[in-house]
Structure formats: C-alpha cells, structure tokens
Amino acid sequence: MKFVTKACFGMLLAASALSTPAFAEEEEASGPFTVSGGIAVTSDYRFRGISLSNEKVAVQPTITLSHESGFYVGAWGSTFPDSPAYGKFELDLYGGYNTEIAPGTTVDIGLTYYTYPGSDDGGAPTDYFEVIGKLSQDIGPVSATGTVAYAWDQKSLGSDDNIYLNLGLGYAIPDSPVTLTAGIGYTDGSLGLVAADGNYLDWSVGASFAAGPATLSVQYIDTDVKKSGIKAVDTLYDPTVVFTLGVAF
C-alpha cells in the first residue's frame, strides 16, 4: 500500500514508480492480445521513497493482458511483514490505455485499485483508487517520463486527496546491457502524512543490468522527510540502497 500513515505506525509495508510491472517481457502475440509478466525479489519495497516492507525482502509478481488497440489490464503484488491492518500481501489491480502520439512519444493513462487481501483492522478501510497519467519521450538512448498520480478523497485516505508528481530519466548505454536511471518525485496530501506538513520530496539514482529474461538493478533512494526522533519510524525513510532481481516470462 502506498499509505504513508502505515509507515508512521510501522504497519504499512509496500512506488515506480506506479504499479505497472517491472521486468515484464512480452510473449509472442496470439491474435490481438499479448500477455506479459514476471516476478521480482527486492531487498526493500520502497514506495515513493518510503519503505513499505519495513526494510525487509519482498517478493513481487505481476501479469498484464494488453490489446493491440492500446488498452490493458493487469495485476501487481508484493509481500509484507504481517500486520492486522494490511495482512501479508498488497494487490494492485489496474487498467488503462497506452498509445504513441508521435515518433518516440507515448501517453499512458490508467486507474489503479490498491487492496490488501486478508487485512483485519476492525473494519477500518484500507483500499483506495488512484488515477495515473504518464508522458514519455525517447531521444536516442535517453528516455524521459513525467508522471502525475491523483487519489481523490476516500475514507482510507482520511477523507483527503493526494497528488504525486515524478520525473524519471533512463539512459541505455549503447552496445551494453546496462541502463542508468534517475528520478525525483513530490508527494502532497494524505499519502504524505509521514511529513509534518503533508508533503515531501523523494529521489533516486541507479543502474540495471539485463541478461536474457533476468534483470538485476541497484538504486540509491532518499527523501527530505525530517526525522521524528522515533527510530522505528525514521528508518522507513532513511537513505538506502535497494537491490532487485527480476525474471520475465
């Protein structure tokens, strides 16, 4: 879940950068539909700079069904350390539309539903919806993606709304399996309650190495969230290095 209030209470355990799957590889098309998917193991599930796995290893499967028209639906998940409020697993169900509007320029807009099967916290709501839009531009080996994510006021968000902005860059080193990445994001609203004023910045730099269907990545992740003085909370947004190994199918 992307609920930062969970992080504050050490109960929230899940960004990316959005719920669309990483390490997904398309299978040979059969008619107008294409299936892609994969599974990843990460040393720390960080969502918009915050650790949602309590700095523990998480397993993250994904699958997407795409139509040649550009419409798609899919599911992404992540394990959690067990908690009454969120159970042991996050499940993100999403759908949307992706299209190229000019050579090297694509637009993607979709809706994601964040849910927590098995959660039991006295009936308190935890699930919520978020609209996510992305604009991507390729310039040679460099790719830039701007993201806007909006969650309107919902009970699980404390009847407040939230907006997240992100700019990500990727540079595929020519004639090599290595891609360099960097990104900066800004959270404002109910999902930014880990910060005293409800907003904060997050940023990351990293690299990935692809070998066949497998990808190994490393990222340095940090935020400008001020320390609370409570160690169990502060460690959830301490600067960290995250390792992820993914396999596509």
pLDDT tens for 150-180 read 999 998 888 789 999 999 999 999 999 999 9
In the predicted model, what is the mean pLDDT of the chain? 86
The dihedral over CA atoms of 232, 221, 56, 179, expressed in degrees to the nearest 10, equals 180
Query: Of how many residues is the chain composed?
Result: 249
Predicted model pTM:
0.85
Q: CB neighbours of 175 closer than 8 A, spacing ≥ 6?
A: none
pLDDT confidence tier of residue 195, bands split at 50, 70 and 90: low
Q: Which CATH architecture has domain 4-248?
A: Beta Barrel (2.40)
Largest CA distance in the chain: 57
What distance in Å separates the CA atoms of residue 197 and residue 188, rounded to the nearest whole number? 9
Strand partners, 36: 26, 64
Q: Taking the domains of the chain in order of start, what are their residue ranges?
A: 4-248
Phi-psi region of 139 (alpha: psi -120 to 50; beta: other; left: phi over 0): beta
What distance in Å separates the CA atoms of residue 177 and residue 175, rounded to the nearest whole number? 7
pLDDT tens for 24-49 read 444 444 689 999 999 999 999 999 99
End-to-end CA distance of the chain: 25
pLDDT confidence tier of residue 197, bands split at 50, 70 and 90: low
Handedness of CA 167, 173, 174, 175 (dihedral sign): negative
Count other Cβ atoms within 10 Å, centred on residue 159: 9
Mean pLDDT, range 92-100, rounded to an integer: 98
- Comparing CA positions, the residue from 192, 1, 195, 194 lying closest to residue 83 is 1
What distance in Å separates the CA atoms of residue 110 and residue 58, rounded to the nearest whole number? 25
- Quick one: tokens of 165? 């902005």
Phi, psi (degrees; rounded to nearest 5) at 10: 70, 15
Count other Cβ atoms within 10 Å, centred on residue 71: 14
